[in-house]
Amino acid sequence: MSAAQSQTTLESKLEALQCHFTWDLDPKSTFKLYRLRDKLEDIGPEEGNSWLGHIYNLRGFIQYKLGFTEDAQSFFNKAAEAFSKIRNADEGPWLVVNYGNLAWLHHHLGDQAESQAYLSKVNTLMNKYPSPSQDELHPEIYAEKAWTLAELNINKKLATDYFQRAIRMQPDVVEWNTCYILGLADAFKHSDTGLEADLLEKMRIAKEQDPENLYLALLYLEYCAKKGERIEDEARELARKVLRNPVGSYSGINPLLRIYRNYVSIDETVDLIEEALRTHPDERYLKRYAALCYKWKIVCFNYTRPNPSVIDRAISLHKEVIALYPHSFLEKKIDLANIYAKSNHGQAEAEQIYQELLEMDLEPGDKQMLYNNYAKHLNFDRHDRNTSIRYHMKAAAIPHQSFFRGNSIKALERMKYKGHMRREIEEFLEHLQEP
């Protein structure tokens, strides 16, 4: 076989692998890759995390896409070590994706012999550990693919389907079922009809099967509250447990603060996050949520001018978080502008931040978020209705389906009925193209 034929054969074998390099995960921009890296870093403590191997595999792939090939290989190697420790075995079907990633990495690095060696390892594993279902992937592969799609927010419906397939073939893996239930709950998060009739019961059963998962316990509590149950005492009890645990995005701090905001009080929410920061003063993930809590207090809950000390604390936290997340700054800069707008002398600073952001070359979804927020700022803080309408139109005109597009369309409908630029809005909405 000629060298060219050998290369073609190798590439066709690589294309047939089940791994991150073949799952069409490629984000469209470097900014998105950095945001994903931030998100994975914020998952937090490694000890006891049953998804650690999957996390390292995805971090390795993102580092490769960012051009850090040495880091990529290091993370892929860490993934193999993590799987060995978690599964208490040196090999198994859970390594198929990892070895596939390493085969692709060495191929891109020009080391074809090493790439072929990992291909052989994949074939050995697949022959030794065939799928229980002849026409389907191994459940370990489905589970990792499902977790990856869900974590990247690419196709939640497909992720849920893959988890179902994995659970059907291997029903005794608790963390797969927990992630499946969390995915179902997330799908109904913004639903007008609420949860399916039996989903709350599924969440209750999953909580009993996975009693140490505080994230699941808090999500279940949140849905109980939505059904009208009083949950304040249980929320405070769970808060004690969350604050005792190491900090990370899987620890439950996000749903906990949401519950406190919606069903306890915004003041207790701020007190809770400040207590967490006193315990973990250097955790950037907590600082990010502290900034968010202060934004809630100032922008969402205060209809009069907030206390200057609260404004100062909010501004300080937002500036710190922007520095800690240099590639994920857009939302926090918008929040900072909105906080300045609520202060006595901050209108100029708010406008300056917005103008700087409006000059940036942003992706469609980010543009929608910016235009939608700027339109609200113009309407509520500067009372400039006509320019506000123009920016809601700019957000709606971008052919990208998102919360912000829908929110701007609803705002235009409301403003039309109040008589603001009625004919122009009607004509705009009539000719609006669906994404």
Burial class (CB in 10 A: 0-12, 13-18, 19+), 72: buried
What pLDDT is attached to residue 387? Answer: 97
Average pLDDT, the chain: 92
Phi, psi of 47 (to 5 degrees): -60, 120
Q: From the DSSP assignment, how many helices (H) and strands (E) are in the chain?
A: 22, 0
Sign for the CA dihedral angle at 324, 330, 333, 338 comes to negative
b (16+ CB within 10 A) / e for 54-65: bbbbbbbbbbbb
Sign for the CA dihedral angle at 214, 218, 224, 229 comes to positive
Residue 91 maps to a domain: yes
Residue 213 maps to a domain: no
What pLDDT is attached to residue 186? Answer: 82
Task: Compute the C-alpha angle 415/420/423, nearest 5°.
Answer: 100
The residue among 58, 70, 55, 51 whose CA lies nearest residue 21 is: 58
Residue 118 maps to a domain: yes
Task: Compute the C-alpha angle 380/306/278, nearest 5°.
Answer: 125
Residue 80 maps to a domain: yes
Beta carbons within 8 Å of 307's beta carbon, 6+ residues apart: none
Residue 198, helix vs strand vs coil: coil
pTM of the model: 0.91
Sign for the CA dihedral angle at 286, 288, 291, 296 comes to negative
Retrieve residue 78's tokens: 């860490």
Residue 304 maps to a domain: no
The stretches in the chain having pLDDT less than 50 are: none
Residue 171, helix vs strand vs coil: coil
Residue with tokens 């509590």: 221
H or E element, residue 209? helix 199-209
Give the residue numbers spanning the domain of 32: 1-129
Residue 5 maps to a domain: yes
Q: Could you tell me if 297 and 306 are in contact, meaning their C-beta atoms sit under 8 angstroms apart?
A: yes
CA distance 87 to 50: 9
What pLDDT is attached to residue 302? Answer: 63
CA distance 362 to 13: 37
Residue 71 maps to a domain: yes
Which amino acid does the sequence have at 116? Q
pLDDT, tens digit, 9 for 90 and up, residues 10-34: 899 999 999 999 999 977 788 889 9
Residue with tokens 């072929």: 116
Q: Where are the alpha helices (DSSP H) in 296-402?
A: 308-324, 330-342, 347-358, 364-376, 385-397
What pLDDT is attached to residue 307? Answer: 85
What pLDDT is attached to residue 433? Answer: 81
Q: What is the CATH number of the domain that holds 61?
A: 1.25.40.10
CA distance 338 to 398: 23
Tally of structural domains, the chain: 1
Retrieve residue 133's tokens: 């279902």
pLDDT, tens digit, 9 for 90 and up, residues 111-139: 999 999 999 999 999 999 999 988 999 99
Phi, psi of 19 (to 5 degrees): -165, 180
